Chain A
Amino acid sequence: MTEQTGAIEAGVALERRKSTGLWGDAFRRLIRNRLAILGGLFVIFLALLASIGPMVTPWEYFDQHTQEVISNNNRPLTPMQQVEGLDHVHVLGTDNLGRDMLSRLMDGARISMMVALVVQAVVLFIGIPVGAAAAWFGGRIDTFLMRITDVVYAYPDLLFIILLGVAFRETFFGKALDGLLLVFVAIGLTSWVTMARLVRGQLLSLKETEFVEAAKAIGVSDRRIVTRHLLPNALGPIIVAVTLGIPTAILAEATLAFIGIGVQAPRASWGSLVADGQAYLRSFPHMVLFPAIAIALALISFTFLGDGLRDALDPKLKGKQ
């Protein structure tokens, strides 16, 4: 209450002026943040690319235009390179097997967006109940659950994911969905912990507030209190955590693909594209450059969006306007 006294005057005045509610205020703050808007736009672009893209391109990501490569002296085609006798051009070139880079990048976009969504779904599915249970029931259950999260948290993420990948890659489970199921599960299993801790922290501080006491006094059931009263208030930080967790997931998947775990050929995860292009780094850098830029842009935009959401949803964190 004392931090920045002048703000009390300003805040009190503003409060009386507009009462559009938490989400309206947050949305307006978000709109003003140019970086967040840029990030958001690119995320939407990626989503479109991932969903519609593969239907729009003339070729599939696994189509090998072997003839074209052979006629190019067994070298991959560079972007927009004209090959005699052909009426089409590969906008972003091809790889060494003659596969169109643009189509492969789009498949990569699809994979990355799936990773983003599914992993976060797993995180929410495990993390929220665990965190909520720990916060609500407290006592022994809380200690028990927190010990579990502590131990899981202590296991280095990348190591665990690699071990899972190595262990299961030959199995049915590991080959499902071109190896993606394994990746989703592995990354999800390591990421839920921070969400659980976050949810627990939020609910703990909300649990002691008066409106919870009031709800209990009226006789609202425990589950109702948690789902209808507590969780919606914790929604803000949860949204931010989900958004900021996506870059980590995409990065993990790319790293795995680079080492050779996870997505199976011929699927074109951006990480595996980089690995494929490694040998051609000096002569045909476009094979590495494009997926690298794609990864970087995806990560940056989710980060900006996440930062913007965090600033918008918690005005105390925003510094001088």
Chain B
Amino acid sequence: MTVSDPQAPPGGAAVTELPDSIEITTEEGRRLAERLADNRPHARKLLEVRNLSTQFFTRDGVVHAVDEVSFDVDYGETLGLVGESGCGKSVTALSLVRLVPDPPGQIVEGQILFDGIDILKLSRAEMRRLRGRKIGFIFQDPMTSLNPTLPIGFQISESARTHLGLSRNAAADRGVELLSKVGIPRARDRMGDYPHQFSGGMRQRVMIAIALACDPMLLLADEPTTALDVTIQAQILDLIRSLSAEFGTAVMLITHDLGIAAGMCHRVNVMYAGRIVETGVVDDVFENARHPYAWGLLDSLPRLTDTRAGRLRTIEGMPPDLIDPGAECRFAPRCHYAQDRCRAEEPELTPRDGEGHQARCFGTEPGGWIP
């Protein structure tokens, strides 16, 4: 008996099918089979975003929060989305699951293909079936992201009951299983506890359990550790990394912290003012960055060799107003290397050294004026 996955493309390698003689009888087995089906090598990527633009229509103007952003996420890979507050990274993630608050926000153009499915063309009901089931979301603040009046056991098993049709008991069992997987001791006892009875780090673990409850193919993690203590941060990141490896879940990790991106991601996108300004494999971006903003970010990290007497290095100036941005390079006002061309037209993403390494800068293009 083969496990059929309605979302698998026709054809494709049969290497990861289960042999006919195996009967799927357990929940565990069913999930395993599904995952195998999901992670078949495909010609396409898990997530293909093309020219995504999301805007906010306010009384004072139209804010171009996400401006023609394109990127891919491959099955099972971890992609980092790095940038400062207000650069559009969170809005990008929300756009992927169509959770941008509307009004005032709207996805105005672009195409989002998730496992071959055109997200922007789905009906609301179909979109709802994807959320939680195929795409999980971890939010930044575990304190406010959990419902304070519902036991966490209920909140974890909610999506399992909704999407997988599990009975209350089966869903509760799965909840206990998930809780222990994310490292909460005495999981069964704690199913009836309320969020305020957990510490910040444990609450985030619960959030992770919720996000992974239905074994999604993609996990969107929006600054999952920003609200936590540094010591807890490492634990949470380790947890995400190990779980995603174990279940083959792709992760899009949004963060402003370069260190986190460097430690967790296969590839990185650097965002600035609603645009991707550099993208590539993590080693390339960190060791061979080719955009002045990326240099500024890397440079501003305090180093062990810094002396106390020296000043912290910052990028001068402020990010631009996203209402009706002009036709110039958005980083030009703050860029040491900017020249007239930068203020007249906006560069495109062009290739650099390294696989898939691109940057949006006239100066660092081959033949450009920045060495």
Contact = CB atoms under 8 A, between A and B. Distances in A.
Contacts of B354: none
Given A6-B65, A17-B321, A17-B323, A321 B86 contact: no
A2 B140 contact: yes
B58 interface: yes
A18 B321 CA distance: 11
Interface stretch (B14-22, B32-40, B100-108, B168-176): B100-108
A321 B90 contact: no
Interface string A1-24: 111111111101110111000000
Given A16-B318, A16-B321, A8 B90 contact: yes
A3 to B, nearest CB: 7
Interface residues of B, number: 31
B63 A18 contact: no
A321 B85 contact: no
B144 to A, nearest CB: 6
Q: State the main secondary structure of chain A at its contact with B.
A: helix
A6 B101 contact: yes
Given A10-B65, A13-B322, A18 B60 contact: yes
A4 B227 CA distance: 16
A9 B322 contact: yes
A9 B88 contact: yes
A13 B144 contact: no
Q: Which of A2, A3, A16, A321 has the most chain B CB atoms closer than 10 A to its own CB?
A: A2
Question: Would you list the 3 A-B pairs with minimal beta carbon distance, nearest first?
Answer: A12-B86, A9-B65, A5-B90
28 contacts: A2-B141, A4-B101, A6-B65, A6-B94, A6-B101, A6-B105, A8-B86, A9-B56, A9-B65, A10-B56, A10-B58, A10-B63, A12-B85, A12-B319, A12-B322, A13-B61, A13-B63, A13-B322, A14-B58, A14-B60, A14-B63, A16-B320, A17-B321, A17-B323, A320-B101, A320-B103, A320-B104, A321-B104
Given A14-B323, A17-B321, 12 more contacts: A2-B139, A2-B140, A2-B141, A2-B227, A5-B91, A6-B101, A10-B63, A12-B85, A14-B58, A18-B60, A320-B104, A321-B104
Interface of B: 56, 58-61, 63, 65, 85-86, 88, 90-91, 94, 100-101, 103-105, 139-141, 144-145, 222, 227, 318-323
